[in-house]
Structure 1
């Protein structure tokens, strides 16, 4: 695993299911680097580089099963090539790692954000340099796609609770099995500490980070066209600083003081408290992203809006989760509160500690 949010949840659950049976490697460019997100005292930091990865694979050959928490490791293909053939390799489909399987990244964007992304390649450049950047960009996408597909073909089991993510990539490796599991539990996320608040339908929470797959520009343009008069809270502390600055400029220009950007790091409790102050949560992604945010919002009985073609949305709809539509923003007061109550009950039933531990037991005993 890498130093990321939510991995502490897995470590605690893993030790509860099979105490002392696993070793948790955290890959770092240098072992002297201080961990930012992972607080567990039982992890082992390993230097992950081109010079060390073969030795690490030799060390990993003593284990019967390896669980990769995402594909966000350089030289991962080399690491997997050096493993014993009988080792089971499982992959926690994190999100962006799996979506690199395709070179057609345009499908994850809506028109205005795609135009913005294309414009970045043209920024401060003449014709020759612009063409060169576009060629480099396509080549980079091609290489990422090729590598991601090679990695998927080496996986025995894909682990994710978003079934449609698995369905999306299973054609690459038809032999790859699927197991259901989520890092999230309502208990570990601290959601039981969040009090239900009266819905403030004049306050929207938009997106989850400063990444362009949030399609901020398209969402803000829609709010401008319907003459939205409420506040817009936009978390931008995680991701690209340059992209965040461009979103802020666009938001302030069109909405003035009603556009509220969050650019400083917050604890999870602070983050939930701020989200809880909004009655409407709009995740405008075309692809699966912001799963933790969506789970929290549904638990808080918020009016949640998602793209219906989003794999996360499709999975949750199979559980009978209710989502509002983008068009409902014209008159959000029409959304029925009893549907929001049911959403909370469904989230509690699917993301309980008991459910996660049962799923993890199946993974370990497979």
Structure 2
């Protein structure tokens, strides 16, 4: 074993494990899950023992999303592990810095751990720059989109004949989607032939969902369609392929897999210019609509959409991902 991976029990991490096992020598990789809330003390101790044993053996330790407080404290106590640890930045684990309130000794621990990694892995260069600003890190930046969820999606589905513009707003029920802000901005188009699909199937809470649904129905009546049931992957891809426009109002990097999937399918995507994703996509040559300068509901012409698709296909191919991971593992 050369490489130890630590990540949450989530689909993104599990799909990544499968991809690595299929693409590289499985014997060189070990995958662990930190214990979540509610686990017994014995289970947590057992995990720490396993982490310590495999961590000592590993040449590199890859931390997939650094959210877990117990993990952060563990790395602070056993800080020698940081010398060979690589933080794969997910977004919320970085931007949680902006949600800090008051003074906390834990923040000092978190600053030390997140600031002293050997390497930082992300496909968003701006997120690495923020990590340097927040935690004064000097660790090396490695570019990689790392997860199969970001791969180019080749979807060949028949175009649905419809008279309205089909628009997705947000990608989850998490309040960070700022659904109400989107609804207010779209309110001037309420008399147009549009159909709004609001994703509220995971994250968030019932109170927030009710507020969004009530506002959506108040403004758009039967043109507003909340999606409350979780879709399987193939079903969700089919749904995305039926859209014309997707609008995201996140204030931080989020929903990148959704965005790349939509661009793969030649959809017009709106995001805020202040989000690090905006610059990343622009630097690739992709044309994105600005949520901040929202004047009219517009769809890019087919030439632009096709060029966007080609750029996504080139930059987010399986071949590219394997090359990126190989460089990270072997450098």
- Shorter chain as denominator, the TM-score bin is 0.7 to 0.9
**Does 1:93 pair with 2:58?**
no
* Alignment of structure 1 residues 54-73 onto 2, 5 Å: 54-59=48-53, 60-73=55-68
- Tell me how far apart the structure 2 counterparts of residues 48 and 176 of structure 1 sit (CA, whole Å): 32
State the SS of the aligned residue for 2:240: helix
* 1:185-237 alpha-carbon deviations (Å, 9 max, x no partner): 48x86822443636966111011011111111111001113435311101111
- Tell me how far apart the structure 2 counterparts of residues 308 and 276 of structure 1 sit (CA, whole Å): 24
* 1:13-71 alpha-carbon deviations (Å, 9 max, x no partner): 322133310110122338999xxxxxxxxxxxx9764x456434422222221110001
1:362 maps to which of 323, 327, 331: 327
Distance 1:57 1:27, change over 3 A: closer
Distance 1:99 1:145, change over 3 A: farther
- Tell me how far apart the structure 2 counterparts of residues 47 and 92 of structure 1 sit (CA, whole Å): 28
- Give unmatched runs, 5+ long, in structure 2: 1-6
* 1:225-279 alpha-carbon deviations (Å, 9 max, x no partner): 3435311101111101232222112111211111111111111111111122110
| Residue in structure 2 matched with residue 231 of structure 1 by the alignment | 195
- Tell me how far apart the structure 2 counterparts of residues 323 and 345 of structure 1 sit (CA, whole Å): 14
The answer as to whether partners of 2:269 and 2:288 remain within 8 angstroms in 1 is: yes
- Give unmatched runs, 5+ long, in structure 1: 34-45, 105-137
- Number of positions where the alignment pairs a residue of Structure 1 with one of Structure 2: 317
The answer as to whether partners of 2:216 and 2:224 remain within 8 angstroms in 1 is: yes
State the SS of the aligned residue for 1:178: strand
Report how far residue 295 of structure 1 moved.
0.3
State the SS of the aligned residue for 2:250: coil
* Alignment of structure 1 residues 38-53 onto 2, 5 Å: 49=44, 51-52=45-46
Distance 1:236 1:91, change over 3 A: same
The answer as to whether partners of 1:196 and 1:300 remain within 8 angstroms in 2 is: no
- Tell me how far apart the structure 2 counterparts of residues 314 and 8 of structure 1 sit (CA, whole Å): 29
2:119 maps to which of 150, 157, 164: 157
| Residue in structure 1 matched with residue 36 of structure 2 by the alignment | 29
- Tell me how far apart the structure 2 counterparts of residues 237 and 351 of structure 1 sit (CA, whole Å): 27
**Does 1:13 pair with 2:19?**
yes
1:168 maps to which of 102, 114, 130: 130
Report how far residue 309 of structure 1 moved.
1.4
Distance 1:57 1:257, change over 3 A: same
